[in-house]
Every structure is written in structure tokens, then in C-alpha cells.
Amino acid sequence: MRRHPPTKPQTTAAWRDTSLGKRKKSSSKPQGPKKREPLAVQFTCLFCNHEKAIQVKLDKKAGVGNLHCKVCGQRFQTGINYLSAAVDVYSDWVDACENVAQEAAAQDAEDAKFSSYAAARATGTGVAGGDEEEEDAEFGEY
């Protein structure tokens, strides 16, 4: 029986890259910080629905943010601080509009409730007014 001589380890580039005990060097360079997109400065008007019609001006010394629509002339003013941006004034305006709409809807619902009660009384479909007087007559007068 014939034995083959032992083989020598290969000394190619592939052998050197997978050598034991060493880490591979990273080929990519470290990336810098990601660039942030700037916050919006012009917005869509809630009333006339024109895009980029809202202009916001910040007066940080006075602590006031002003919002103005170039198309319909809608205006809004709110208090700001040193961290506030134009988007904060716009979001305050959106919140204020939503609050007004909710209050108006609640008032309309309340008015509808009372107007339907008054209409029912006028047509006589509600509580009959004469029934109670007839029942009182049974007890007599004091």
C-alpha cells in the first residue's frame, strides 16, 4: 500500500483572507451624520385649500408667531418660545380650527335637540298639555 505524501498548505490570496485569529478589515469608510431635511416653511390653507399659500412669521423677541394666507387673507396669531418653528405655529392653527369645529358641531347638536323639542310642542306630538290638567281636576281644588 502506497501512501501519498502530505500536502502543503496553499499560500494563495484566498488562504490569507481566511486565516484564523484575524478580523477582516472593513472596506467601507464610516459615514458621516445623516442630512436632515429642512422643516416646511409654506403650508396649505385649511380654508381656501391652496398649496403653499400660508406664510408664517416668527417674532421670537416678542414671543409671537403670525400666520397669514396669501390667497384668502386668513390670519392667526399664537404664542411661541425660543424653540418654536413655523411648523409649530401651523400645527397650533390646525388644532385651533379643529377645536372651533368641534364646538360648533356640539352647539349645532344642542340647538337641534331644543329646536326638535320646540317643534314637537308646537305640532302637539310631544307631551299632551291637557292630560295633566284633567288628572288634576280629579283631586279637586284646595
- The model's pTM: 0.57
Structural domain contains residue 91: yes
Structural domain contains residue 129: no
The CA distances from residue 138 to 109, 134, 141, in Å, are 40, 7, 9
Structural domain contains residue 85: yes
Q: Which stretches of the chain are assigned E, i.e. beta strand?
A: 42-43, 54-59, 64-69, 75-79
Confirm if 101 and 47 have CB atoms less than 8 A apart. Answer: no
CATH code of residue 49: 2.20.25.190
pLDDT, tens digit, 9 for 90 and up, residues 7-48 = 666 555 555 555 566 676 667 777 788 888 877 888 999 999
Structural domain contains residue 56: yes
Per-residue pLDDT band at 136 (split at 50, 70, 90): low
* Domain housing 116: 38-124
